[in-house]
Chain A
Amino acid sequence: MERNENQFSGGRRYKNDDITVYWKPSACVHASYCYRELLEVFDPSRRPWVDMNGSTTEKIIEVVNLCPTEALAWKWNDEEKNESVGSDQLNHIKFRRPELMNSIDPDSNEQPVSVKIMSDGPIVLKGNFTLLYNGNKKEVRDSMISICRCGVSDHMPFCDGQHRKAGFIG
């Protein structure tokens, strides 16, 4: 029953000595911060597209934290260090993908829908719910979406990452 250790439910993980970066392709909205800021590590034209030796741990964390969705998240390999990570580390798995952190079951129907108000960013909804928008009705199952909170997205009602450029605060 050996699974590829680079895979997890919904994506892949990449490690260096210090941290693990989680990639969930279905969550990506192509806001492009990762490869614009750090092509040495995040190069969509390369396979594998993430090279954890391409830069320093500090720089990789900085750029993963720019991702406006949960497509990229990270954690320290030293689990004790994860406990004290603050919410300024936006995309630490504790805040972005808590199910990767410990035993919370992402498939449980009993879980309330997780509604996260990201700092100066979108509303991130996660779980099982009915979504009504633009005359559409969509049953969302064990999944995640980001709703624009700044008012300037070109992809309404969804976040497209423009809140940063717009300087949205709130």
Chain B
Amino acid sequence: MEDNKENKSQSVIEVIDFGPLKITGNFLIKDLQRNKEDSSSEVKLCRCGKSENKPYCDESHKK
């Protein structure tokens, strides 16, 4: 079971300064607010609270 513990992370999660949370790699989003799932390969999630398309970023933070 412990065969390959030096596996690199399959996902990179980047907190973009003054911007969204960018997620790439192997992940599964469960949106408990809207009862939806998303397993795409890259997403940007809103961190400013202003997006009209939550949980995704819609660039509202730049306004």
Contact = CB atoms under 8 A, between A and B. Distances in A.
Interface string A123-165: 1010111111110000110000001111110000100000000
A118 B31 CA distance: 7
Contacts of A147: 15, 21, 45, 47
A114 B12 CA distance: 12
Interface residues of B, number: 34
Interface residues of A, number: 34
Nearest to B61: A151
A149 B13 CA distance: 15
B30 to A, nearest CB: 5
Given A125-B13, A132-B15, A149-B45, A117 B21 contact: no
Given A150-B49, A157-B15, A129 B32 contact: no
Given A87-B35, A119-B33, A112 B10 contact: yes
Contacts of B35: 87
A118 B10 contact: no
Contacts of A130: 9, 11-13
Contacts of B31: 116-117
Interface string A40-76: 0000000000000000000000000000000000000
A129 B33 contact: no
A129 B49 contact: no
A31 B21 CA distance: 22
Contact of A115 (B9, B29, B34, B47): B29
A166 B48 CA distance: 13
